[in-house]
Amino acid sequence: MDAIVEIRDLSKKYTSLFKKRDVLAVDGVSLEVGKAEILGFLGPNGAGKTTTIKLTCGLLKPTKGSIYIDGLEVEKNRRKVLPKLGAVLEGTRNSHWPLTIKENLTYFGNLKNLRGRTLRRNIEHILELFDLQEKADVPVKMLSQGMKQKLAIALALISDPLLLLLDEPTSNLDVKSSRLIKEKVRELATEEGKAVIITTHNMEVAQEICERVAIINKGKIVALDRVENLIHLFSEQRYEFKVQNNFGWEELQKLAFVKEVQYQSNETCNTLTLTFEDTAGLYDVMDILRSKKVIIKSINNKKASLEDIFLSLTV
């Protein structure tokens, strides 16, 4: 893969006067994203997702490591690198509300040194791509939340960057707007060839549009693989037992080859879900259940969702 962005052993430590309060927000993160690829960046609150995004777009200075965009190191080549990336950061409005959509596109295009025919062409293309032509002369303050978010992404694309960084782009959006944003992000990768890194808490978003997912916890990458590989790996290791009678299931948690035990009990049946470190332990579990005279009604290899994987890796 020809990587558009390469992050090598990236670390960020926030230091304070009192060394005990130093915070290692990002710890040795390395990853690559290629052209036309969408990488999902998942992690619990405070895991280091936003810090990594801000380091990548040059908003933060790394403590260690380096970031390359299109072969150029960000820290040493800011002027050349910055037009190659666009960023939509979480919780920010990203546009001037008194100005219209077109005025915002023109202004931010000028900020990125675009002018004349190039700028006009880029604006026309973006208005068409995001279906904003009819609202081009409407002040941003009069747009819906979904339209504002579309505009935020549109502004990040004004310089036709190679890399797009999206920090929680669907947060605070309703279902319809969220679906629209997902479609646009997918189009940007598949049709426009952009490399996209998207951070999100929404597993559905990650599972639907991301090819690969990086899961970060406490500043470290704990998983980095294609979504289907992760789901396949975790699904192989996850079994669901429907059992008739209650039993002391808690002792299964002490088994070395069992990663996680969930037990749900209701009037009709009880469901025991086991995630194995090593699926060879399945037979040992069967022996234990038999010794406890547990009546097994069915055993299924349960397909893991990205949410299950995320929770299992970040607890």
Partner 1 sequence: MNILFLLKAEIVREVLLARRYLFEAIVSLIMVYITFMGIYFAVRKLAIGGDDISIASYQLVGFLLWIFAMSTIGIFSDEINASALVGVLEQIFVSPNGLLRFIICKAVSRTLIQIIPLVTLLLILLFSTGIRLKLDLLAITTILSLTIAGFYGLGLFFGGLALLYKRIGPVTMMVRGALLFVTGAMIPIDKFPAFLQVVAKLFPMTQGLIMLRKVTVKGDSLWALIQNGDMSILIINSLIYLTVGLATFKVMENLSRNKGVIGVY
Q: What does the binding site for partner 1 look like in residue numbers (CB under 8 A)?
A: 12, 14, 51, 54, 57-61, 78-79, 82-83, 85, 87, 89, 91-99, 103, 106-108, 110-113, 115, 155
Q: Are strands 64-69 and 212-217 parallel, antiparallel or unpaired?
A: unpaired
Cβ proximity to partner 1: between 40 and 109 the closer is 109
CB atoms within 10 A of CB 47: 23
As a whole number of angstroms, the distance between CA 114 and CA 41 comes to 30
As a whole number of angstroms, the distance between CA 301 and CA 183 comes to 32
Cβ proximity to partner 1: between 86 and 281 the closer is 86
| Residues sharing a CB contact under 8 Å with residue 243, sequence separation 6 or more, in sequence order | 269, 270, 271, 272, 289, 294, 295, 296, 297
Looking at the DSSP assignment, which residues form a beta bridge with residue 221?
216
C-beta of 58: minimal distance to partner 1 in Å?
A: 6
Cβ proximity to partner 1: between 141 and 176 the closer is 141
In contact, 85 and 69? CB cutoff 8 Å: yes
Cβ proximity to partner 1: between 158 and 258 the closer is 158
Smallest Cα–Cα separation from 310: which of 184, 213, 166, 174?
213
| Residues sharing a CB contact under 8 Å with residue 12, sequence separation 6 or more, in sequence order | 24, 25, 26, 48, 51, 55, 60, 62, 63
Cα-based distances in Å from 189 to 6, 39, 229, 300: 17, 10, 21, 36
CB atoms within 10 A of CB 213: 26
End-to-end CA distance of the chain: 32
Cβ proximity to partner 1: between 140 and 252 the closer is 140
In contact, 188 and 282? CB cutoff 8 Å: no
C-beta of 277: minimal distance to partner 1 in Å?
A: 37
Cβ proximity to partner 1: between 14 and 295 the closer is 14
CB atoms within 10 A of CB 102: 17
Cβ proximity to partner 1: between 88 and 205 the closer is 88
As a whole number of angstroms, the distance between CA 105 and CA 145 comes to 18
Cβ proximity to partner 1: between 145 and 300 the closer is 145
C-beta of 141: minimal distance to partner 1 in Å?
A: 10
Fill in the amino acid letter for 136.
A
C-beta of 20: minimal distance to partner 1 in Å?
A: 17
